[in-house]
Structure 1
Amino acid sequence: MGTPLGDFIRTKRDSIQPDSLGLPDRGRRRSPGLRRSDLAARAGVSVEYLTRIEQGRDRNPSVAVVNALADALSLDPSERNHLRYLTKISGGACSAHTRLAPPRRDVRPAVLETLRLLEPGIAVVTNRLGDVLAHTSGFEMVMGGIGLLDAEEPNLTRFVFLHPGARTFFADWDEVADERAFDLWLAPSIENSEWLAAELAPVAGPDFTRRLHRHVVPRRGVLRLNHPLGYQLRLLRETLDLSSDAQQLVVLLPADERTAEDIGRLRGPSGRLRAVP
């Protein structure tokens, strides 16, 4: 059985063309990308050892080996951080005895007060699973009417992969889907991410599973929304990590003047904060 670490290394290796690294073309091969022997040589490890890592038979490579693999794969800073994180959770966290369970849904009073101060702006508290834990009236103004907040326990990940209107609402649905799948690896714990993945996989189908195991580090650019009332909104996302709570506070800001004007048209009397139970 493989590990998230092995899956990531193998996926990145398959995505690299040898000529991009100045390696000679050795003719046709059965699979695309960089040969395992070439990566092993660039990282200064044996092919056998690299094979064990990719296949999940070695779950605890040293820091030096992890850094050497990052260099050999020419990873950018975000990908390097992800590689280190996967090394951590692959070193025994993914055991067969893992208890699958959802995370806590309570939000600290100080965080709720921060949301109140952000009214009538567009802000939401979530965890990495995508659970919508609390939000401002501005968030409800933008996200209301699409079905997300109709659920008893709203969840962005479920909405993106399961709701029929999600592909229309998110103008760049593919990028948003990659973000939601990637963030499951950063969930409060591996137990939590496995819990949601086990729930989604049978109903979301192979597209979800493929995205989950590609480990594509998302760009998180401008969020483009097709609002039900006909507005095309472009929003910047400022994220404050609430590390001690395994949550994050996300504030959405107009990316251009037209979006600011459209939000002004959408905004009615300021509503009160709604905390989702």
Structure 2
Amino acid sequence: MQNDLGDFLRSRRSRIQPADAGLREYGRRRVAGLRREEVAQLAGVSVDYYIRLEQGRGKHVSDAVLDAVARALRLDEPERLHLYALARPGGTVDSHPTTASGVYRDTVAPGVRLVLDALAAPAFVLGRRMDVLAWNALGDLVSGFSRVPDSERNQARYLFLEPAAPVFYPDWERVAAETVAFLRRDAGLHPDDPRLTALVEELSERSPDFARLWAAHPIKEKTRGAKLIQHPEAGRLELGYETFALPGDPDQLLVVYTAEPGSPAAAALARLAERHPVTA
């Protein structure tokens, strides 16, 4: 992750063809997409300045320049925020401090645990690096968090290193892309987190799929969506999920799985809870 800014900018300019940007083709192209001088032209900055930015040597870059580069590369909002995070380590992006420290609170507040237990839906809390910090009983029945050692309780590690993961997630490729996108965002906000660096190195070495997806620099916020699970006991579960940032802990996310009332998934979750009643 030594020059993530440059890698990110190169990945984004490679996906835009000159004709799509209103530019005339000229000369032989050695790389896919836009040349650096074309991005500079579209952004209204000097070629030398853009090259220094892509090389990670652009200090004190202004909002106007970053926004101009974002427009030239047609970045969406999560990608634009990621650009800010990479260009300004040590600042604040979208309420998240882009700290160089790997230290943060990896335990949930007592009130959050009460909220988890009060929910009648599978729920859990994700921390940095996709570590699973807490869960409720139904969340455990669905995902089996308590059966995993503390040091291994990480969604990315499970997804890419556990042989059963593609069976549990039938749409594994989509879930994998979303997971890498989340980790990429985390890496932009916390570029010097040693535990995140170690996780990325481990997954890159042990999983060719992770290395492939990581090199593509996907960026996506984990907000809401659909999750398809092939549960060993409950069968096929077509669930939605909603994600909430916890006040006071911007690096912790409450994830709640949802099922449409009267749906097969709702009935399957109800049967699962009946078979495994929570005891005090």
- Give the TM-score band, short-chain normalised: 0.7 to 0.9
**Equivalent residue for 2:271?**
265
1:255 to partner: Cα distance: 5.2
Structure 2 unaligned runs (5+)? 92-99
Distance in 2 between residues matched to 1:3 and 1:65, nearest whole Å: 19
1:271 CA displacement: 2.2
RMSD: 2.7
Equivalent pair of 2:121/2:138 in contact (CA under 8 Å): yes
Q: Which residue of 1 aligns with 2:122?
A: 122
Structure 1 residue aligned with 2:226: 222
What does 1:160-171 correspond to in 2, within 5 Å? Answer: 160-171=159-170
Choose 243-252 or 213-222, whichever is displaced more.
213-222
Instruction: Report the alpha carbon displacement of residue 3 of structure 1 after superposing the two structures with TM.
Output: 2.3
Give 1:105's aligned residue. 106
Answer whether contact 1:59 1:90 (CA < 8 A) is retained: no
Aligned to 2:53: 53
Q: 1:149 to 1:30 in 2, by over 3 A?
A: farther
Instruction: Give me the TM-score of the superposition, normalised by structure 1.
Output: 0.83
- Correspondence for 1:151 among 149, 152, 173: 149
Q: How far is the alpha carbon of 1:27 from its aligned partner?
A: 5.8
Residues 210-234 of structure 1: per-residue CA shift (max 9 Å, x gap): 4234331237531111222362222
Q: Which residue of 1 aligns with 2:43?
A: 43
User: In structure 2, which of residues 191, 197, 219 is the aligned counterpart of residue 194 of structure 1?
Assistant: 197
Compute the displacement of 1:15 (Å). Answer: 1.1
Equivalent-residue separation in structure 1 for 2:161 and 2:103 (angstroms): 19
**Aligned counterparts of 1:56 and 1:249: Cα–Cα separation in 2:** 34
Alignment-derived partner of residue 95 in structure 1: none
Deviation string for 1:20-74 (max 9, x for gaps)? 2222333642211112121110001122221111122225421111010011112
Instruction: Judge which range, 65-74 or 260-269, deviates more.
Output: 260-269
**3-state DSSP of counterpart to 1:15:** coil
**What SS is found at the alignment partner of 2:150?**
coil
Uncovered stretches (5+) of structure 1, i.e. residues with no partner:
92-97
Amino acid across the alignment from 2:199? L
Instruction: Name the residue aligned to 2:236.
Output: 232
Name the SS of the counterpart of 2:29 in structure 1: coil
| CA displacement 1:190-243 (0-9 Å, x = unmatched) | 314224223433323x43234234331237531111222362222221111125
CA distance in 2, matches of 1:67, 1:44: 11
> What is the TM-score normalised by the length of structure 2?
0.82
Query: Does structure 1 residue 212 correspond to structure 2 residue 214?
Result: yes
- Opposite residue 127 of structure 1, the aligned amino acid is G
Output the CA distance in 1 between the equivalents of 2:146 and 2:157.
Answer: 9
* Shift of residue 270, structure 1, vs aligned partner: 3.8
Residues 244 and 198 (structure 1 numbering): CA distance in 2 closer, same or farther, change over 3 Å?
farther
